[in-house]
Amino acid sequence: MKQLFIIILVVICTACTKKTEERTLLYNQLINYRDDLKMSVKSQEIYLSETTRDNEFYRKRFDSLNRINTELDKSFERLRYGDRKALLKLRDNYNEKYKLDIKFGSSKDYENIVDSIFNRLIETDILKLRKKFQDRYMFPHSVE
């Protein structure tokens, strides 16, 4: 009986360690994805800023659109560690208001997620919104 208990305890400990390693790996991949999105958004901001420097019309347009884009980031930072529902509402409202058409999971998908992972997921969602906004509204598109 004692041996069976020890074997079960070892199996449980091994399974728990494996889950922890998997979570750590997935979390690190999520951090890498977030960093890639951050770099992309930042590089596009720099590119747009540099290319609009000489053209007055595009500079005014860039400034007004950039204000909208950075307002999302500021709102996110204010709500970041607060109410999950408010963060999800911010994300969804911005997506709908500017017709970005990014598909996100429902709020129920986020209910049982650990706070650290939830914060990173929402952060990546916000970065996706900012990048899509830049792509759709801030880069000049030619009409052919």
Q: For residues 108 and 96, which has the higher predicted lDDT (pLDDT)?
A: 96
pLDDT, position 5: 46
Q: How far apart are CA 66 and CA 95, in angstroms?
A: 16
| Distance in angstroms (rounded) separating the CA atoms of residues 96 and 87 | 14
Question: Letter for the amino acid at 45?
Answer: E
Q: What is the mean pLDDT of residues 76-97?
A: 92
Q: What are phi and psi of 89, to 5 degrees?
A: -65, -40
Q: What residue ranges do the domains of the chain occupy?
A: 2-138
pTM of the model: 0.81
Provide the 10 A C-beta neighbour count for residue 23.
13
Average pLDDT, the chain: 82
Is residue 10 pLDDT above 90, yes or no?
A: no
pLDDT tens-place string over residues 30-53: 899 999 999 999 999 888 888 888
| Range of lowest pLDDT (18-22, 44-48, 78-82, 135-139) | 18-22
